[in-house]
Amino acid sequence: MLQRRNRVKKLLDDMGLATEGVTEARVRGMIGQSTRPVVIDEAEAENASARVELQKIINFARKCSSGGIVANANASYRAQSCFCFAAINPSVEQLADTARISILELTRDTKLDHLATWRDLLSDMRATFTQSYCRAMLARTMQNLPALLDNVATFTRAASELFKDARAGDQLGPMIAGAFSLTSTARISHEAATEWMRKQDWDWHTQTREQEDSGVLLTHIMTSRVRYDHSGMMRESTIGDMVVLAADRNAPGHDGAATGLRAYGMKLEAGRVIVSNTAPQMRRLLADTPYIPWARGLGEIAGAEPVKATYFMTGLITRAVSFPLAAVTGDQGVQDEDLPFEDFR
């Protein structure tokens, strides 16, 4: 952990700030009215108080990502620092944070000579990341800053168009442009940036985003345990299991599960799950979560469609969202791929 933080801090030289185990107020005090980048090690949430304090720091980092105004008794200023968190178990849970924080995960080296490989890597880093090298890299970046800023705009636009999501472009564009700047100081064209983006495997990003937004909401709903009436007897089940029962007309307990789902503003038709936008029982189920209103989140599921006012049960006729049953029962794998820039040197 310290090795990672030290390498990042060393590359930032005196420009960066590095710390661990601090409060949000301390981080704000360190930055002041500057835009210096911050590296925070041991960004763990080992207990309730640490979790609350870490979330305050993440909230501040979120404000920085959008250039929010920070005000105190003495002055107000625009927060624009970048943050790098190092943690064994990243504590990034809020949907507003997962869209602004990219998690880079180390993979375990299982080869027999992994210790020798690690020692060689450490030796290379120590030999390479000298003070003169780090300062030269910063000087090179500053010297080519106009081209870097142009490339940030270009990659941001290309990513936004590829993912049809401006937030994804804002998050990925600057990082990709920064990686590109390590191999070239040229201005990349929109066409070349778009071509490069399309050649990459973005499953790691798109599937993570689905899990961050609609996926987390759907998982919360489907794993929630509820009680429902089945032929005069009370039963307890997860909503997901009830959906599976309701989808099979020949399954024992089908009728009770289908009726129980309607009380939560849910029903199945033609291989699709239909969820009311305003069902009171669903609102109670999602109370104290960031998922209300839930129609927009469910509407981001692949194949989702809005539904006009539909009947669920007596007294519950509302607009709804419809999505494929496969979103509940299906499964997909994730593949990772390196992102080389050699073609643009």
Q: How far is CA 345 from CA 134, 181, 183, 195, 342, in A?
A: 21, 10, 6, 15, 6
* pLDDT (0 to 100) of residue 2: 45
* pLDDT (0 to 100) of residue 4: 53
Tokens read off for 75: 């002055």
* pLDDT (0 to 100) of residue 78: 80
* pLDDT (0 to 100) of residue 335: 41
DSSP per-residue string spanning 213-240 = IIIHHHHHHHH-EEEEEETTEEEEEEHH
How do beta strands 233-238 and 225-230 pair? antiparallel
* pLDDT (0 to 100) of residue 334: 38
User: For the chain, which residues make up each domain, given as ranges?
Assistant: 2-106, 115-202, 210-329
Judged on CB neighbours under 10 Å (0-12, 13-18, 19+), 255 is middle
Residue 50's nearest CA partner among 89, 79, 103 is 89
Successive 10-residue mean pLDDT values, the chain, 345 residues: 63 83 83 86 74 85 80 72 82 68 79 91 89 91 95 95 87 91 94 91 66 78 91 88 93 92 95 95 87 88 92 95 91 45 53
Residue 58's nearest CA partner among 6, 32, 89, 93 is 93
